[in-house]
């Protein structure tokens, strides 16, 4: 039985956390994540979850405490945004390399400077090579679903990597929408119990975490970590399918919308997909063969699957909600281009949009499809969409 | 339970021989004494630094107790997480044992980069003992000055030259910064008075809540002393009142050791090459200034401990 509720993206994540009932949550407040942790703190204050909440003095300590708690043997979650994630950066890498299945919801927000509290993906994209699995969500429903699945993915014995479900700051985090939630016991049953193989608190079998790894072992450990990320692909698909059986909402690496016979495809992450879908419907009604592919799983990157899904298109526009400052474009486009390399003749062009919370309007999306159809899109250099020249 | 040498000798040593600490390292002696003092099972965390590097070169470990190293500045925050996990799992009946938690950091990881995380952990009241092994510089990375380096000490980043006579500032008084946190137990100790140090550790571990011990732990590489003098040089720091031994239990200050005769600070300087420039006649005013500072701080401490300030 699923319940229907009106929840913001933050509330949807907090509700999932309440049902997951992690053993430890360590967090520091930051806009636009604050509502999420406030909501969860209320659950704790009301005594309806058993979680130990550690209200630390910085995000650096939040991630540090999560690492300690997870190594100790606890199921651990946190949430952050923007500068908070940037401050955690060092320990974000340590969490992944120590193979600790922490789940951290990232409410996407632009990075300073200039300071800006609104949405873009520069924060989570900054962690793209940190060894965390990244799941992007389109709306509060997907936030809920991704947070629940994240626990299973992270703790899978073939994976043991931390997972970062993300949601667009304010656009999703503060927007009230219809969300179907599972019954508490159904969530508990789906995620199961977390029984780590080598908990630090097993004093009868002492082990050392965080040893110094020199030239003779570091490389091997990095390779094992990379292999875990590769294995995660299969696990993500299996868990997405199982979740689908439970809820009717199955999940894969991406969501294809009218792409089968599409000549022109937009590829994007997060909330932008909703707006693009409505423009696709409108253009389809006018007989134009357009579609949208919403990428859910950015890490691990599903390159082969992506090439099979959109390689037939004539032209593809990749929308990036982050600048790469590489004099080419955003971080997503080069990965899509390399996925299609030698597998597709499609032109791939890059649009950077929505930085610092700038709106993505249907007019802009129509202009992107027009550019694709008329061969105007610059295949080398990213176009900054909706920016004043 | 009083500490008894005979009983102690029968106890398994929680840190194994074969670690890569320098022969005569003051810090490893401190850590060994701290671990040996614990009565309950313990879980340790350590900041990045000498002690982590010399004890955990993969695939070996010298720790016979559960041990975690996370990063340089977060031993206290990491331990906050470990201790919170313990509370959570204990509450749920998933752990039955009583476990005590000890975090270690050098002066770099404690006085400097880790101060925020330590302060936060103490303010939040986690049930842990934090031990700073204070060797007065960033020894692990090549003897750079830290917030604990004494005035005028020569280090690789506060060298002696034509324009400078070593470090230009006094160290911060971390023990008193910790006292300002109003935690139930704070102490200053030295490994040369092993019984005092171990008694303090036992006392601290019996108290619930956050505890802090600052232990002077000589580094013969950095202090430029013969390796056989590690403990002697610590003794001189205490005899000169540069490093007084005291404790603060629930806000009550207590002096643990009062030298019969206060040795002039120059005698401590004479034992270490990092201060050898201070022995030149032209640096006599600097020595006098440091002596005045030691005297003033010693009287302050006597006052705080309710001791007679007499000669």
| Predicted confidence pLDDT, tens digits, chain A (389 residues) | 789 999 999 999 999 999 999 999 999 999 999 999 999 999 999 999 999 999 999 999 999 999 999 999 999 999 999 999 999 999 999 999 999 999 999 999 999 999 999 999 999 999 999 999 999 999 999 999 999 999 999 999 999 999 999 999 999 999 999 999 999 999 999 999 999 999 999 999 999 999 999 999 999 999 999 999 999 999 999 999 999 999 999 999 999 999 999 999 999 999 999 999 999 999 999 999 999 999 999 999 999 999 999 999 999 999 999 999 999 999 999 999 999 999 999 999 999 999 999 999 999 999 999 999 999 998 889 999 999 98
Contact B107, B136 (CB under 8 A): yes
Contact A98, B71 (CB under 8 A): no
Cβ-Cβ contacts under 8 Å, A64 against chain B: 70-71, 74, 77-78, 80-81, 117
Determine whether the interchain pair B70/A94 forms a contact, defined as Cβ–Cβ distance below 8 Å: yes
N- to C-terminal Cα separation, chain B:
36
Q: What is the pTM of this model?
A: 0.98
Structure tokens given for A179? 């969300």
- For residue A206, the chain B residues in CB contact (below 8 A) are 63-67
So what's the ipTM on this one? Answer: 0.97
Q: Are A140 and A11 in contact (CB under 8 A)?
A: yes
Indicate the SS3 state at residue B306. coil
Nearest alpha-carbon partner for B131 in B203, B195, B194, B76: B76
Point out the residue among B53, B85, B116 whose CB comes nearest to the CB of A212.
B53
Q: For residue A286, give how far its alpha carbon lies from the nearest alpha carbon of chain B (Å).
A: 57
Contact B117 A24 (CB under 8 A): no
Cβ-Cβ contacts under 8 Å, B97 against chain A? 203
> Which runs of E-coded beta strand occur in chain A?
2-7, 24-27, 52-55, 76-80, 103-108, 133-136, 163-168, 177-182, 208-209, 254-257, 264-269, 290-295, 297-299, 315-320, 347-352, 383-384
Q: Does the beta-carbon distance from B82 to A72 stay under 8 Å?
A: yes
Q: Which residue of A has its CA nearest to B62?
A: A208
C-alpha A373/C-alpha A91 separation (Å) is: 45
DSSP-derived pairing of the beta strands A297-299 and A133-136: antiparallel
Environment class of residue A179 by beta-carbon count within 10 Å: exposed (0-12), middle (13-18) or buried (19+)?
A: buried
DSSP three-state, residue A133: strand
Q: Do A23 and B92 touch (CB under 8 A)?
A: yes
* The dihedral formed by the CA atoms of A22, A224, B47 and B42, expressed in degrees to the nearest 10: 60
Q: Is A94 in Cβ contact with B80 (below 8 Å)?
A: no
Write down how long chain B is. Answer: 311
* Closest among A39, A76, A96 to B80, alpha carbons compared: A76
Among A51, A56, A66, select the one facing B120 at the smallest CB separation: A56
| Closest CB to A201 among B56, B66, B91 | B66
Among A69, A76, A203, beta carbon nearest to B99:
A203
Angle CA A375–A376–A382, to nearest 5: 120
Distances (CA, A) of B158 to A177, A263, A293, B211, B266: 60, 67, 59, 32, 20
**Token output for A8:** 């913001």
Chain B residues inside the 8 Å CB shell of A94: 70-71
- Nearest-Cα distance to chain A for B86, in Å, is 7
Taking a C-beta distance cutoff of 8 angstroms, is the pair A249, A301 a contact? no
Mark yes or no for CB contact A50/B80 under 8 Å: no
């Amino acid at each position: 039985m699923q319940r229907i509720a009106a929840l913001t993206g933050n509330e949807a994540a907090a509700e999932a956390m309440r049902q997951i009932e992690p053993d430890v949550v360590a967090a520091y407040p930051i806009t636009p994540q604050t509502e999420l942790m406030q909501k969860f703190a209320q659950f704790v204050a009301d005594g309806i979850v058993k979680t130990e909440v550690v209200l630390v003095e910085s995000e650096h300590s939040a991630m540090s405490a999560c690492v300690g708690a997870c190594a100790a043997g606890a199921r651990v979650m946190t949430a952050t945004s923007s500068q908070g994630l940037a401050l955690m950066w060092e320990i974000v890498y340590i969490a992944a390399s120590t193979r600790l299945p922490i789940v951290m919801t990232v409410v996407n927000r632009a990075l300073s400077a200039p300071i800006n509290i609104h949405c873009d993906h520069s924060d989570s994209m900054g962690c793209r090579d940190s060894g965390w699995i990244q799941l992007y969500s389109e709306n509060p429903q997907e936030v809920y679903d991704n947070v629940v699945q994240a626990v299973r993915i992270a703790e899978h014995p073939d994976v043991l990597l931390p997972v970062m479900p993300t949601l667009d700051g304010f656009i999703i985090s503060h927007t009230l929408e219809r969300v179907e939630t599972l019954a508490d016991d159904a969530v508990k049953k789906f995620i199961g119990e977390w029984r780590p193989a080598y908990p630090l608190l097993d004093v009868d079998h002492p082990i050392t975490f965080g040893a110094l790894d020199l030239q003779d072992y570091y490389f091997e450990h990095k390779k094992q970590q990379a292999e875990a990320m590769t294995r995660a692909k299969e696990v993500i698909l299996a868990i997405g399918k199982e979740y689908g059986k439970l809820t009717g909402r199955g999940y894969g690496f991406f969501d294809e919308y009218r792409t089968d016979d599409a000549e022109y495809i937009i590829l994007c992450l997060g909330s932008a997909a909703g707006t693009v879908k409505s423009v696709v419907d409108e253009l389809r009604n006018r007989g134009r063969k357009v579609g949208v592919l919403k990428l859910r799983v950015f890490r691990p990157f599903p390159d082969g699957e992506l090439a099979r899904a959109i390689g037939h298109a004539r032209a593809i526009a990749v929308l990036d909600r982050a600048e790469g400052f590489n004099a080419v474009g955003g971080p997503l486009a080069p990965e899509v281009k390399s996925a299609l390399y030698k597998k597709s003749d499609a032109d791939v062009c890059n649009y950077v949009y929505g930085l610092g919370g700038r709106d993505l309007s249907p007019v802009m999306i129509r202009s992107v499809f027009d550019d694709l159809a008329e061969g105007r899109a610059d295949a080398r250099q990213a176009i900054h969409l909706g920016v004043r020249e | 339970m009083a500490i008894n040498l005979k009983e102690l000798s029968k106890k398994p040593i929680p840190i194994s021989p074969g670690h890569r600490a320098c022969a005569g390292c003051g810090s490893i002696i401190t850590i060994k004494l701290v671990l040996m003092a614990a009565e309950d099972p313990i879980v340790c965390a350590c900041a990045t630094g000498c002690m982590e590097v010399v004890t955990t070169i993969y695939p070996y470990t010298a720790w016979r107790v559960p041990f975690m190293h996370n990063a340089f500045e977060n031993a206290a925050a990491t331990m906050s997480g470990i201790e919170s996990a313990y509370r959570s799992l204990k509450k749920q009946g998933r752990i039955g044992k009583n476990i005590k938690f000890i975090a270690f950091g050098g002066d770099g990881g404690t006085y400097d980069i880790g101060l925020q995380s330590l302060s936060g952990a103490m303010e939040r009241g986690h049930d842990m003992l934090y031990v700073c092994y204070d060797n007065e510089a960033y020894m692990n990375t090549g003897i750079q000055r830290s917030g604990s380096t004494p005035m005028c000490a020569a280090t690789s980043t506060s060298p002696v030259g034509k324009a400078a006579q070593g470090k230009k500032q006094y160290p911060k008084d971390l023990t008193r910064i910790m006292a300002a946190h109003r935690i139930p137990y704070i102490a200053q100790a030295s490994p040369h008075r092993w019984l005092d140090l171990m008694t303090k550790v036992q006392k601290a571990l019996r108290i619930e809540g956050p505890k802090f011990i600052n232990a002077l732990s000589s580094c013969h590489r950095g202090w430029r002393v013969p390796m056989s003098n590690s403990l002697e040089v610590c003794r001189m720091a205490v005899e000169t009142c540069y490093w007084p031994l005291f404790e603060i239990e629930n806000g009550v200050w207590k002096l643990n050791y009062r030298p019969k005769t206060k040795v002039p600070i120059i005698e401590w300087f004479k034992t270490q090459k990092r201060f050898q420039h201070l022995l030149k006649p032209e640096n006599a005013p600097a020595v006098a200034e440091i002596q005045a500072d030691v005297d003033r701080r010693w009287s302050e401490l006597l006052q705080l401990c309710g001791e007679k300030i007499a000669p």
